[in-house]
């Protein structure tokens, strides 16, 4: 049996702010349990749902030196959905109402978590062969393993994987403060290690010291070697190219299944969607105050409302698109200017545009089921889950060819009659608009071809089983290097 330990700041269903939680919640369940024992360690946040807190059992506790103090570290555990979870308990660090508060406090908080998670491992009756670290919040683990923990034979030959979910977030602060907080010697704060433009960069340390690096799509793994996407670390990514691989995230095919989803208005599958899917559209139109018309093309946007998601492109051409025979439904929160932009268009084009400026999981399900197309013109997108869900629901994605969007959406080719969606390559509002209008033309004038695209989209497999196989190969390869 090969032992894999996931270390992360969030995990479904305990705490979630984004796609990281979905990955950490889903991937361990899909590893082959005949060969892999995968466990997960997380912070015990005070805001976690009481239902989960009631399931916790005391495992152990100890005291640990950190940031010039001696801190209590409690370890609670539970079995949930076939996976063993551990939670690091210290209310000084995790007694809060949200997982991230900003720098430098988050460095202080997650530096403690990294050291506590490593310190707890010898007390858990479980020695990992591989520690799988997720994003900057756990990036100090490979660094600490290389440093003070090497004195203990327990930690010898433990391999580390660093997964970058979004390179934009790196945890950068001044060297003096970081050095004081995390307790690493001067040796680590040089340009070939944690130093970054005279500051300290936690994610950089994790990338330098991990045995393997993954990111969440093949294209993003290539993009981050280039200055435009590399966020200042493109040189390091090129230097470690041999150890870097891209593995596309999956989605939970039980949760996101239009045939069995009890949230959507009407169930459908790849065989009966022609007769059933439109019923979701008219019900959604009615609920959200749009003009009820089963023939009108309905385009969905479920997104964080931020620059990264390409919303400035939509802002440039939204007035023009609203002259077309289309409707828009928008769900999400984010930057105030984009929230207000969509509110404005919902007011200006009542009956054609609806803006739901909040997040609601049930409404997201209904939008994926009820729309004809899904617009996702991201500036960059390491993986993206929304396009995978929309493919699963036969709601054809219209995406920009970047990161995971390029890897997962095959553009429609009318001559070969192939493809699972529509895409454009340049970050340009009019190129996006031309692609939306091309999709409109296929929808209205070539309905049978449109339906064939839906058939292909719903037949694609982006479940976690495929991704899990690639991670298993990586773990096997790492363990074979011991």
Clarify whether residues 238 and 291 are in a common domain: no
Tokens of 358: 């909040």
Residue ranges of the chain with pLDDT lower than 70? Answer: none
Clarify whether residues 224 and 331 are in a common domain: no
Find how far residue 108's CA is from the centre of its chain: 24
Asked if residue 255 is part of any domain, the answer here is no
Asked if residue 475 is part of any domain, the answer here is yes
Tokens of 227: 């200055």
Clarify whether residues 158 and 176 are in a common domain: yes
Rounded to whole angstroms, the Cα distance separating 278 from 255 reads 21
Contact 274, 266 (CB under 8 A): no
Clarify whether residues 54 and 87 are in a common domain: yes
The confidence score (pLDDT) of residue 25 equals 94
Clarify whether residues 443 and 471 are in a common domain: no
Contact 208, 184 (CB under 8 A): no
Rounded to whole angstroms, the Cα distance separating 404 from 229 reads 13
| pTM, to two decimals | 0.92
Clarify whether residues 218 and 337 are in a common domain: no
Clarify whether residues 64 and 208 are in a common domain: yes
Number of domains in the chain: 2
Rounded to whole angstroms, the Cα distance separating 344 from 467 reads 41
Asked if residue 266 is part of any domain, the answer here is no
Tell whether the torsion through CA atoms of 146, 151, 156 and 158 is positive or negative.
negative
Q: Going by C-beta distance under 8 Å and a sequence separation of 6 or more, which residues neighbour residue 26? A: 12, 250, 251, 252, 464
Domain at 58, CATH number: 3.40.50.2000
Asked if residue 263 is part of any domain, the answer here is no
Asked if residue 54 is part of any domain, the answer here is yes
Clarify whether residues 140 and 9 are in a common domain: yes
Task: Label residue 433 exposed, middle or buried (CB < 10 Å: 0-12, 13-18, 19+).
Answer: buried
- Helix (H/G/I), strand (E/B), else coil: 337: helix
Clarify whether residues 42 and 138 are in a common domain: yes
Rounded to whole angstroms, the Cα distance separating 230 from 232 reads 5
Clarify whether residues 152 and 88 are in a common domain: yes
The confidence score (pLDDT) of residue 481 equals 87
Clarify whether residues 474 and 420 are in a common domain: no
Asked if residue 256 is part of any domain, the answer here is no
Clarify whether residues 208 and 288 are in a common domain: no
- Side-by-side strand order, sheet with 396-400: 353-356, 326-331, 297-302, 373-376, 396-400, 422-424
What own/partner pairs with CB < 8 Å and gap ≥ 24 does 434-440 have? Answer: 435/398, 436/299, 436/321, 436/326, 436/373, 436/375, 436/398, 437/324, 439/297, 439/373, 439/396, 439/398, 439/412, 440/297, 440/324, 440/325, 440/326
Asked if residue 355 is part of any domain, the answer here is yes
Nearest to residue 7, comparing CAs of 99, 97, 140, 124? 140
Range of the domain at 83: 2-250+465-480
Asked if residue 36 is part of any domain, the answer here is yes
């Amino acid at each position: 049996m090969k032992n894999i330990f996931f270390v992360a700041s969030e995990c479904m269903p305990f705490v979630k702010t984004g796609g990281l939680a979905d990955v950490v919640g889903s991937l361990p369940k899909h590893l082959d349990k005949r060969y892999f024992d995968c466990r997960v360690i997380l912070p015990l946040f005070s805001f976690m749902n009481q239902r989960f807190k009631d399931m916790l059992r005391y495992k152990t506790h100890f005291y640990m030196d950190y940031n010039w103090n001696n801190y209590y570290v409690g370890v609670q555990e539970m079995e949930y959905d076939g996976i063993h979870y551990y939670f690091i308990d210290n209310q000084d660090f995790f007694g809060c109402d949200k997982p991230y508060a900003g720098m430098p406090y988050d460095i202080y908080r997650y530096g403690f978590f990294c050291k506590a998670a490593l310190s707890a491992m010898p007390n858990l009756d479980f020695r990992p062969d591989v520690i799988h670290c997720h994003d900057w919040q756990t990036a100090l683990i490979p660094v600490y393993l290389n440093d003070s923990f090497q004195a203990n034979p327990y930690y010898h030959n433990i391999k580390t994987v660093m997964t970058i979910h979004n390179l934009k977030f790196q945890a950068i602060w001044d060297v003096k403060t970081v050095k004081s907080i995390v307790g690493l010697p001067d040796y680590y704060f040089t340009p070939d290690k944690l130093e970054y433009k005279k500051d300290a960069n936690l994610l950089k340390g994790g990338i330098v010291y991990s045995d393997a690096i993954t990111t969440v799509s093949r294209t993003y793994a290539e993009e981050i070697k280039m200055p435009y996407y590399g966020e200042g670390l493109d040189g390091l990514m090129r230097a470690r190219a041999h150890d870097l691989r891209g593995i596309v995230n999956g989605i939970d095919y039980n949760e996101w299944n239009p045939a069995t989803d009890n949230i959507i208005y009407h169930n459908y599958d790849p065989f009966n969607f022609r007769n059933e899917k439109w019923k979701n559209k008219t019900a959604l139109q009615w609920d959200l105050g749009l003009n009820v018309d089963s023939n009108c093309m309905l385009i969905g946007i479920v997104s964080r409302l931020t620059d990264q998601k390409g919303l400035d492109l939509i802002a440039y051409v939204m007035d023009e698109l609203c002259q077309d025979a289309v409707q828009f439904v928008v769900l999400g929160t984010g930057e105030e200017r984009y929230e207000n932009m969509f509110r404005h268009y919902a007011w200006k084009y009542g009956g054609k545009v609806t803006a739901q400026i909040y997040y609601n999981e049930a409404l997201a399900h209904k939008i994926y089921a009820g729309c004809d197309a899904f617009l996702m013109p991201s500036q960059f997108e390491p993986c993206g889950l929304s396009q995978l869900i929309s493919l699963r629901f036969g709601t054809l994605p219209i995406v920009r060819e970047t990161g995971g969007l390029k890897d997962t959406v095959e553009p429609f080719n009318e001559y070969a009659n192939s493809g699972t969606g529509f895409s454009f390559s340049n970050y340009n509002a009019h190129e996006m608009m031309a692609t939306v209008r091309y999709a409109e033309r296929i929808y209205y004038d070539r309905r049978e071809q449109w339906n064939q695209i839906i058939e292909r989209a719903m037949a694609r497999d982006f479940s976690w089983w495929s991704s899990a196989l690639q991670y298993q190969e990586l773990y096997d390869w790492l363990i074979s290097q011991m």
